[in-house]
């Protein structure tokens, strides 16, 4: 939505210990966001630990932050889920 486009997806996968194991990013400028996702996976960062980082609003990077927050049901800027 930051770019005036609504097509795209950021999905974060965490294991039962809250460790981020995968990141999927689709949409405009996905390549600008994937570096942060690869670092989260490579370093074995926990979603709850990453939740304390600051991401400016509104920016593309905030999409990753919201996806990480959604791992534990804490996201606040999500579009309504499709059923």
Positions marked catalytic = 57
| Alpha carbon distance 15, 83 (integer Å) | 24
């Amino acid at each position: 939505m930051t770019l005036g486009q609504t097509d795209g997806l950021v999905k974060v996968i965490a294991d039962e210990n809250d460790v981020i194991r995968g990141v999927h990013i689709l949409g405009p400028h996905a390549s600008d966001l994937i570096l942060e996702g690869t670092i989260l996976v490579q370093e074995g960062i926990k979603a709850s630990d990453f939740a304390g980082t600051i991401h400016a609003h509104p920016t593309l990077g905030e999409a990753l932050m919201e996806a990480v927050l959604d791992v534990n049901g804490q996201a606040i800027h999500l579009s309504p889920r499709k059923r």
